[in-house]
């Protein structure tokens, strides 16, 4: 192929972009034109899908899971817009039957629909859908103080945290029924016993997260137990977290709580044991093995005494039961040891995936923000 033919072929394969006056655009001018026309595109080759922003600026997304919050969502969006004027406000409508989505859209929020019911499904969707450096999660019922959102963002950015929890002030006195108050104390104590991390309010839905946390969080829960899973994820990977007490108010008139004390309490308790099995199987199966061993020994003591005295074992079914319980205890111990090794490997893998996401500090050093 001659040089002239090669040049003609190159022009055919890569047509030149032209300005409105017909003149060809240079590469720098083309980039500027594309940036002006499509500000959301990643034209710097960073590989991240962040919204375009000025150097040194940190992108913040406010994500609001909602189910039938039409009475409050417009005010919540307006309050967060006032507190964080540069943030992207995203409302995730969880199969609402009222006008939540319409009111949120009229208030200026980006609205997404998640048809599968349950807060856990919404959190999984919004963590996958939204890209930002800092995420602020709150409820759409107006009980959380939007004016305190900059404090949570500052904790993530300035203190280099992965999760900042807005513990609810006077929650037991102001906004919960008696059953909720007792359950909140009980579950906080159970959590600290099982997972070894002290949180004053593990059920708070007002939290801020780093991008690292969000993009490494598996989100397996489907309902209100998602807050427990968020806390366990941070505890398991030993991520830097902190709590700050923030104002918490009552729901406005006409707005009803979606919580059900017995049902949701049972689901949270079952999630505790599920996460304990997944993250600390040696403790989970060791406790079951210890229980079987104690029961077996307790039933066997009278049999052994009778055998020493008479040389006979008159209660053969009890003896068989004791033997079976001891075998089950041995199996539980073996399962716990094997699964503990697998859990450690999974934790290491999750840690590596967490470290694969560039931190906010690293992104600043690289010049991306």
Stretch (H or E) spanning 341: helix 316-356
176 within 8 A of 184, measured Cβ to Cβ? yes
Q: What is the pLDDT of residue 225?
A: 83
Of the candidates 77, 75, 68, the residue with the CA atom closest to the CA atom of residue 99: 68
Instruction: State the sign of the Cα–Cα–Cα–Cα dihedral 89, 90, 93, 94.
Output: negative
Bridge partners of 368, per DSSP, are none
CATH homologous superfamily of 60-279 equals: Spore Coat Polysaccharide Biosynthesis Protein SpsA; Chain A (3.90.550.10)
Report the candidate in 359, 344, 136, 350 with the shortest Cα–Cα distance to residue 246: 136
Give the pLDDT of residue 7.
47
pLDDT the model gives residue 314: 83
Q: Who contacts 90 (Cβ-Cβ below 8 Å, separation ≥6)?
A: 61, 62, 63, 64, 109, 110, 111, 112, 126, 129, 130
List Cβ neighbours of 115 (8 Å cut-off, separation of 6 or more): 95
Model pLDDT, residue 158: 92
For the chain, the structural domain boundaries read 60-279, 281-362
Low-confidence ranges of the chain (pLDDT < 70): 1-56, 171-181, 251-261, 361-369
Give the up-direction half-sphere exposure of residue 353: CA atoms within 13 A in the CB hemisphere. Answer: 14
Beta bridge partners of 284: none
């Amino acid at each position: 192929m001659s040089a002239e033919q090669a040049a003609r072929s190159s022009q055919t394969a890569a047509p030149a972009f032209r300005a409105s006056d017909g003149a060809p655009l240079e590469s720098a001018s083309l980039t500027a034109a594309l940036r002006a026309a499509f500000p959301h595109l990643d034209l710097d080759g960073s590989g991240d899908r962040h919204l375009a922003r000025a150097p040194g600026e940190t992108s913040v997304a406010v994500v609001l899971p909602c189910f039938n919050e039409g009475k409050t969502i417009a005010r919540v969006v307006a309050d967060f817009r006032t507190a964080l004027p540069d943030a992207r406000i995203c409302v995730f409508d969880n199969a609402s039957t009222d006008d939540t989505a319409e009111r949120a859209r009229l208030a200026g929020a980006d609205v997404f629909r998640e048809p599968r019911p349950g807060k856990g499904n919404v959190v999984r969707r919004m963590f996958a859908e939204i890209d930002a450096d800092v995420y602020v999660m709150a409820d759409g019922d107006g009980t959380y103080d939007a004016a305190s959102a900059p404090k949570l963002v500052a904790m993530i950015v300035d203190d280099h945290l992965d999760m900042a929890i807005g513990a609810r002030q006077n929650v037991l006195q102001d906004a919960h029924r008696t059953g909720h108050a007792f359950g909140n104390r009980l579950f906080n104590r159970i959590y600290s016993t099982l997972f070894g991390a002290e949180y004053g309010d593990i059920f708070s839905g007002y939290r801020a997260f780093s991008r690292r946390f969000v993009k490494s969080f598996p989100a397996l829960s489907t309902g209100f137990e998602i807050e427990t899973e968020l806390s366990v994820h941070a505890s398991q990977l030993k991520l830097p977290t902190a709590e700050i007490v923030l104002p918490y108010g009552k729901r406005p008139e006409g707005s009803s709580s979606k919580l059900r004390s017995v049902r949701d309490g049972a689901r949270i308790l079952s999630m505790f044991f599920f996460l304990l099995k997944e993250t600390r199987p040696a403790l989970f199966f060791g406790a079951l093995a210890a229980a079987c061993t104690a029961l077996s020994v307790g039933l066997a003591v009278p049999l052994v005494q009778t055998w020493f005295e008479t040389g006979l074992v008159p209660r053969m079914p009890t003896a068989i039961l004791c033997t079976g319980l001891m075998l089950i205890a041995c199996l539980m111990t073996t399962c716990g040891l094997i699964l503990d090794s697998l859990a450690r490997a999974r934790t290491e893998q999750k840690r590596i995936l967490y470290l694969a996401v560039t931190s906010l500090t690293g992104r600043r050093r690289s010049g991306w923000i």
